[in-house]
Structure formats: structure tokens, C-alpha cells
């Protein structure tokens, strides 16, 4: 009897586009458009189609569609880490734009390794991704060569440093860091320390260090290398590193961090040690993550338009795929210094 049931299941007719179209009272081509290009179909019609899809249990055959159109409608995105809310905002803004145009996002994490990034690029290209999103401009020679030879549209995000493989969307990390140093110097801090995230294969952090050093020189601040440290991206490392800094340089007056998570860890350590912020010690960050504004005191930081960066990157890829001209392959999205209670008032 179980064998009869299995045979009956195998012989069940597969639900197709025509079945969905019949139930939704539309043409089959309208169903295809609603599934591939949602914004091209009127909302009421699209809702009727999606209700029919749900009712019938229809599963689109993306493989057949990609074979006939030579497009998979997939965009591969590689981010350094899944621990950062910044990467989530970048890819969130990107995914919103892609979904509205019938594309989906494939996400991979490189763990800050250009070798792992290279492996992911190969995987995405082998799966015929229609476009590639990369974080930063530092890649292996083989990865850059593969992307150029594949002729797949590529957008690199979060840095304006280096020559783009294809398109670049970001901001100047060095200029943003220098702008924060101008603010700290204006507050009267003369001995400003700097914590960066790991700099290997990370031109974003190297740019922030360059901006810090330029600020130290320009504003005549203490240039002691003992004021600088490279710190892993977690609260425990940040709190430990601040303790070590204060042992080396107990006269340090402020700390600028190349990432908000480090700055928030430093704020916690200041509270634990009884240091008043900003009266005894100033703290500034970089990125303006959501938590920065809820700290007590609020964290002074560099604000970046994360979701807009991701959305603009998606728009460039989609324009390229649609054969539209792209006005300028490098897009500077800018930054803003957000002053909160963790630093003194500017004198």
C-alpha cells in the first residue's frame, strides 16, 4: 500500500505558471513578471498572484529561467564579518533595492581574509552570480584577475582608496579620521590615543590610521607611538587594551577608536575605573552604530550612511546589468562628525 502511495505521489502533476495564472485570473506572462520584477506589476494584481502561489504551493523553476535568459538574478556579496551591525546595514540597504528589481542576495563572510574572499568569489562566479559586491579594495591578485576576466559587474564598497576593479562606492576613511582629530584638538585634547582594528588586508583601517597621524602632525598633538594600538573587534579586547594604554601613558587625555565597538568597550572600562567621561577622559568612535547614541554619555563618532551606501551599490550593479550608462564609476557618499557627550565641548 505504501508503494501505491509513493507511485501516486510521483504521478501528481507539477504546479506550473499556467495554474497560478488561471487561479489569479491573469496571463502567464503577468505571473512571470510578478515573480521576477515585482515592481512591474500593479500591487493588487501582484497580491492576487502571490495568494495563488501560496494556495497552490507553486515553486518557481529558477534554474530553467536562468538557462533561458543567461541570468541567475543573484548578486554575490562578501563582507568581512557577521559580527558587525555595520555590515548588516550595508547589505540590508542593498537587499531592499535588489528585491524591488527581482534579484536576490547571496551572502558570504571572509573573516577579514583575502584568501577566503578569493574562494568566495570563485564560488559566486561558478554559480553564475550576475554581479559581485566586495567590501574594500584589497584583494588577491588572482581574485582581481578572475573578476576582470569574467566581465561580471563588480562594486567595491566602504573605501575610496585604490583603483576600482569596476565601480566604487564609499568615503575617504583618511579624511573622516582627520575630521575627528580636528574635533578632538578643538576640544583641547593634546594627548590623543588611537585604537585601530586589525590592519592586515584592510585598507579602511589603514586609511583611518593615516588620518589620525595627519591630525597629530597638523594640530601639534603628542606623537608618541605608545598612544597607538591594534585591537581585535570585541568588547573584552577593547577594555583590556584601554587598561594597558593607561599603564603605558597614564597622562592620556582621550581615545579615538577606528570602530564604535572598541569605543563602547572603552566607555565601559572608564566607568569601571571611575574615570569621568568627558571630564577626565574623552572617547570617540567611528561608524555611528545604533548603540552609540544610547550610551551614557552618548558616543561622539563618525556617522556613515550605511544603508544608503548599500542601496547605491545595488543601483550601480543593476544599471550595469540593464545596460544603462553609469555616470562615474566612483561615488563618494561622504561622512559626518556626530558630537555627543563623550567628548568635551569645542573651545
* Distance of alpha carbon 222 from alpha carbon 252, whole angstroms: 9
Tens of pLDDT along the chain (347 residues) come to: 444 444 433 334 568 888 989 999 999 899 888 877 777 889 999 899 989 888 887 776 655 554 444 578 899 999 998 888 888 899 999 999 999 888 999 999 999 999 999 999 999 998 889 999 999 999 999 999 999 999 999 999 998 977 899 999 999 999 999 999 999 999 999 999 999 999 999 999 999 999 999 999 999 999 999 999 999 989 999 999 999 999 999 999 999 999 999 999 999 999 999 999 999 999 999 999 999 999 999 999 999 999 999 999 999 999 999 888 877 789 999 999 999 999 999 87
**Which three-class secondary structure state does DSSP give residue 174?**
helix
Could you give all domains of the chain from N- to C-terminal order, each with its CATH number?
A: 2-58 (1.10.260.40), 69-171+306-334 (3.40.50.2300), 173-304 (3.40.50.2300)
**Which three-class secondary structure state does DSSP give residue 38?**
helix
Where helices occur in the chain by DSSP H, the ranges are 2-10, 17-24, 28-36, 43-56, 62-69, 85-100, 114-126, 141-150, 173-186, 203-218, 235-248, 260-273, 306-321
- State the pLDDT at residue 6: 40
- State the pLDDT at residue 345: 93
- State the pLDDT at residue 40: 81
- State the pLDDT at residue 277: 97
- State the pLDDT at residue 337: 98
* Distance of alpha carbon 207 from alpha carbon 92, whole angstroms: 25
- State the pLDDT at residue 13: 57
Amino acid at each position: 500500500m505504501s508503494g501505491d502511495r509513493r507511485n501516486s505521489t510521483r504521478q501528481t502533476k507539477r504546479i506550473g505558471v499556467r495554474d497560478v495564472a488561471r487561479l489569479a485570473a491573469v496571463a502567464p506572462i503577468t505571473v512571470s513578471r510578478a515573480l521576477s520584477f515585482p515592481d512591474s506589476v500593479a500591487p493588487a494584481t501582484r497580491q492576487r498572484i502571490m495568494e495563488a502561489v501560496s494556495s497552490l504551493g507553486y515553486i518557481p523553476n529558477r534554474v530553467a529561467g536562468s538557462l533561458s535568459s543567461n541570468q541567475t538574478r543573484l548578486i554575490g556579496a562578501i563582507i568581512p564579518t557577521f559580527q558587525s551591525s555595520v555590515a548588516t546595514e550595508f547589505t540590508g540597504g542593498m537587499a531592499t533595492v535588489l528585491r524591488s528589481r527581482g534579484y536576490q542576495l547571496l551572502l558570504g563572510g571572509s573573516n577579514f581574509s583575502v584568501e577566503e574572499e578569493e574562494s568566495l568569489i570563485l564560488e559566486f562566479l561558478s554559480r553564475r552570480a550576475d554581479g559581485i559586491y566586495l567590501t574594500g579594495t584589497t584583494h588577491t591578485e588572482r581574485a582581481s584577475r578572475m573578476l576582470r576576466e569574467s566581465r561580471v559587474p563588480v562594486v567595491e564598497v566602504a573605501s575610496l582608496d585604490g583603483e576600482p576593479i569596476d565601480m566604487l562606492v564609499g568615503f575617504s576613511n583618511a579624511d573622516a579620521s582627520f575630521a575627528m582629530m580636528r574635533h578632538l584638538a578643538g576640544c583641547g585634547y593634546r594627548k590623543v590615543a588611537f585604537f585601530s582594528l586589525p590592519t592586515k588586508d584592510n585598507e579602511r583601517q589603514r586609511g583611518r590610521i593615516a588620518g589620525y597621524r595627519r591630525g597629530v602632525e597638523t594640530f601639534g598633538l603628542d606623537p608618541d607611538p605608545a598612544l597607538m594600538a591594534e585591537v581585535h573587534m570585541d568588547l573584552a579586547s577593547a577594555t583590556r587594551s584601554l587598561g594597558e594604554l593607561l599603564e603605558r601613558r597614564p597622562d592620556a587625555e582621550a581615545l579615538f577608536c577606528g570602530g564604535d565597538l572598541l569605543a563602547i568597550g572603552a566607555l565601559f572600562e572608564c566607568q569601571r575605573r571611575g574615570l569621568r567621561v568627558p571630564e577626565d577622559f574623552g572617547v570617540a568612535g567611528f561608524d555611528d552604530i545604533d548603540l552609540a547614541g544610547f550610551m551614557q554619555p552618548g558616543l561622539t563618532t563618525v556617522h556613515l550612511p550605511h544603508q544608503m551606501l548599500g542601496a547605491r551599490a545595488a543601483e550601480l550593479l543593476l544599471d550595469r546589468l540593464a545596460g544603462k550608462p553609469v555616470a562615474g564609476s566612483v561615488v563618494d557618499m561622504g561622512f559626518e562628525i556626530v558630537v555627543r557627550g563623550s567628548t568635551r565641548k569645542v573651545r
